[in-house]
Amino acid sequence: MRDLIQLLDRRIAILDGAWGTMLQTSNLTPADYLLPGHDQETGGDPDLLNLTRPDVVLDVHRQYLAAGADITTTNTFTATSFGQSDYGLQSRVYEMNLRGAQLARQAADEAEGTRYVAGSVGPLNVTLSLSPKVEDPAYRAVTFDQVRNAYAEQIGALAEGGVDLLLIETIFDPLNAKAAIKAAREAAPDLPLWISVTIVDLSGRTLTGQTVEAFWNSVRHASPLVVGVNCSLGGKEIRPHITDLSRFADTYTACHPNAGLPNAFGGYDETPEETAHYLHEFASEGMVNIVGGCCGTTPAHIATIAEAVRPIRRRSPQPRNSQATQLSGLEPFAITADTGFVMIGERTNVTGSARFRRLIEADDYQAAVNVALDQVRNGANLLDVNMDADLLDGEQAMTTFLNLIATEPEAARIPVMIDSSRWSVLEAGLKCVQGKGIVNSISLKEGEEVFLEHAETIRSYGAGVVVMAFDEQGQADTVERKVEICARAYDLLTQQAGWAPEDIIFDPNVLAVATGIAEHNGYARAFIDALPLIKARCPGVRTSGGISNLSFAFRGNEVVRRAMHA
């Protein structure tokens, strides 16, 4: 990894080009896709060639390396159990990836100078963020765990085969990408990541609706070595998206566009000189650290691109703005010093809204989605979703509701706060959110070991976290206890668990007033007095409070409660 970083710090690196284009011109016949003992049709399966025609695969690698590619990608774009199910080859997935990595490694090691191998981890033919059934928008054909396991199998084999980094590419669903990232961190934790998104059309969004900046907020937790944009568009059309990404990404950036837009026959007409022209512009304007080609590009394109960018100074990544809390739904949402109060819509919470609870318990989820839409239209910046009711299966209710609002662009636009006192429900929610949301909440109630375990899991899904001022001794009710507990949690998260302060939100406990108990008289003031002390002791964090808790002593007296809330 150190050598690759040195290369990226020295000059613009070159990626190879399209695999499909090269294989289609290799004069392959049906016999080249035959696997002894396998009766199902396998014609056209490019990943199978790693086993049946390794000579063809090696030749493609060698042509791209000879053209000037510093990095060659493995021929494993669809080599997952999902991708190979069409051919009945799920049992050969590990072997395909292992052999694909070994062939790329062989070609790279044979080439002059130091070359690198990127394990190609392509998209799936299933999505976690969209339903394949128009009549049932909450339905998903696969689960997060199934997607993660499929990617883990692929990534484990690529790592064993000797790749230098993992290229999770052509991402159209950021939730699928989160599953791939989680798989990578579990199966090959030492391999650096290159994460590349696909903007499907001129709308500037992924297939599942995210903008480029919202996508970056969703995957930033992975600390990728490289983040980029590839496929779907040619250089001309991809320009605004790599422009945006290079502006806010604090790591190396890459772009490997198609050779223009496809023609009427599905082919690509852009010449090497035309593709190189656009990438030369990107390089000249300081947008990229790596350039290459996707669909329709050939060794001629790569050679021309390499020549075009050779004299250009590489891009210098800019440090992240550590003062901003960056969240996302379909669109980004930043909390800065100038943001003011952030409004959290809490009517999608069965513990706080009797109407919402009745709708969920009656299985009237569409009406429940309308509650969420009302919250957004009334100015909510985030949606708090809680399904903690005795008569509910919390995991199922959370999953169903989050899947539904993911299909409503107006509601899905803003980040989600996944709210539960049950860990299993929180994790179920994390597996449904393509953006960067917030988990509400964790605490030190069960001790440091459980606290850190939960914090690490939340971080692996790319969410922020609310930490309650609650420890082994109970809720903090004085200023001193609130500051003490928050300081302890802050040190654990930032010093041991690797959390950025801006992803931590402390809730120092708004407790009920007017209970008739003298010891409770100072609760409201203790909360207010603790806030500046917590921020001084824990720089960079955010604070929050459930102000409606103040009125809990007046349950049943709705007139008083409404007056207090107003």
Q: What is the DSSP string of 345-397?
A: E-SSBTTT-HHHHHHHHTT-HHHHHHHHHHHHHTT-SEEEEE---TTS-HHHH
pLDDT tens for each residue of 171-196: 999 999 999 999 999 999 999 999 99
Query: Does residue 441 have a cis bond before it (omega within 30 degrees)?
Result: yes
pLDDT tens for each residue of 493-516: 999 999 999 999 999 998 877 777
Beta pairing, strands 382-386 & 344-345: parallel
What pLDDT score does 515 carry? 75
pLDDT tens for each residue of 358-379: 999 999 999 999 999 999 999 9
Per-residue confidence band for 470, with pLDDT thresholds at 50, 70 and 90: very high
- What is the rounded CA–CA span in Å between residue 11 and residue 416? 40
What pLDDT score does 266 carry? 87
What pLDDT score does 67 carry? 98
For 542-556, what is the mean pLDDT? 78
What pLDDT score does 321 carry? 66
For 441-469, what is the mean pLDDT? 98
What pLDDT score does 111 carry? 97
Per-residue confidence band for 524, with pLDDT thresholds at 50, 70 and 90: confident
**pLDDT at 522 exceeding the cut of 90:** no
* DSSP state at residue 15: B
For 400-409, what is the mean pLDDT? 97
pLDDT tens for each residue of 311-351: 999 999 988 767 899 999 999 999 998 898 999 999 999 99
What sign for the dihedral angle of Cα 352, 356, 360, 362? Answer: positive
Answer for the pair 381, 414: CB distance below 8 angstroms, yes or no: yes
Q: pTM of the prediction?
A: 0.95
**pLDDT at 4 exceeding the cut of 80:** yes
Per-residue confidence band for 565, with pLDDT thresholds at 50, 70 and 90: low
Per-residue confidence band for 127, with pLDDT thresholds at 50, 70 and 90: very high
What pLDDT score does 202 carry? 83
Query: What single-letter amino acid sits at 209?
Result: G
pLDDT tens for each residue of 229-238: 999 999 999 9
**pLDDT at 137 exceeding the cut of 90:** yes
**pLDDT at 546 exceeding the cut of 80:** no
Average pLDDT along the chain: 95
**pLDDT at 548 exceeding the cut of 80:** no
What sign for the dihedral angle of Cα 22, 160, 177, 290? Answer: negative
Reduced 3-state DSSP string for 235-296: HHHHHHHHHHHHHHCCCEEEEEEECCCCCCCCCCCCCHHHHHHHHHHHHHCCCCCEECCCCC
What pLDDT score does 205 carry? 97
